[in-house]
Amino acid sequence: MKRNLYIYLVASMLLTSIIHSAIAADLGFGSPSIKITSPNDGTIIPAGDVKITIHVDDFTLKNELGAANVEGQGHVHYFMDVAVPTMPDKPAITAAGTYYPTANTSYIWTNVMPGAHNFTVELVNNDHTPLVPAKYARINVTVT
């Protein structure tokens, strides 16, 4: 009898945990994340065009740049050779030519000159402000 009660309690706790996880995922309660999938950090690449490819979890990329914010939705800012802006309530923008806003999961920097470069990607709200807490990824590459 005790063994059956123990199995029932464990099964109930497991089922409750699964249900709570599914509800949280359906309601968008996951933690957004962003990762640069290509190129790899530390890569040596030829001068010219550099394509940055990303993967995003628990965040919907939408082409609503400048629109009203919607929880769990926004776009990406691609940065080259600048510090990533992470101040809450301030647009995550830098000087012209050092960032590019888009809902795409890749961006090509053209005519990248030889040298050491860093590339950063940041998830931002529709109004270009960073998420709180800020969600970004950075790599360093050498262009030859």
Dump pLDDT digits (tens) for 114-132.
999 999 999 999 999 999 9
Q: Which residues of the chain have pLDDT under 70?
A: 1-29
CA–CA distance, 90 with 129 (Å, rounded to integer): 5
Q: Is 18 left (phi over 0), alpha (psi -120 to 50) or beta?
A: alpha
Per-residue burial over 102-117, b = 16 or more CB atoms within 10 Å of its CB, e = otherwise:
eeeeebebeebeeeeb
Assess whether the previous peptide bond of 101 is cis (omega < 30° from 0).
no
> In a 10 Å sphere around its CB, with 0-12 CB exposed, 13-18 middle and 19+ buried, how is residue 97 labelled?
exposed
Residue 133 to residue 144: CA distance in whole angstroms: 35
Determine the Cα–Cα distance for residues 26 and 57; give it in Å rounded to an integer.
13
pLDDT given for residue 6 in this prediction: 53
Asked if residues 23 and 44 have their Cβ atoms less than 8 Å apart, the reply is no
Q: What is the CATH number of domain 33-143?
A: 2.60.40.10
Query: Which pLDDT value is given to residue 30?
Result: 79
Please tell me the pTM assigned to this model.
Answer: 0.80
User: What residue spans define the domains of the chain?
Assistant: 1-29, 33-143
Task: Check residue 8 and give its pLDDT.
Answer: 54
CA 104 to chain centre: 11
Q: Are 38 and 53 in contact (CB under 8 A)?
A: yes
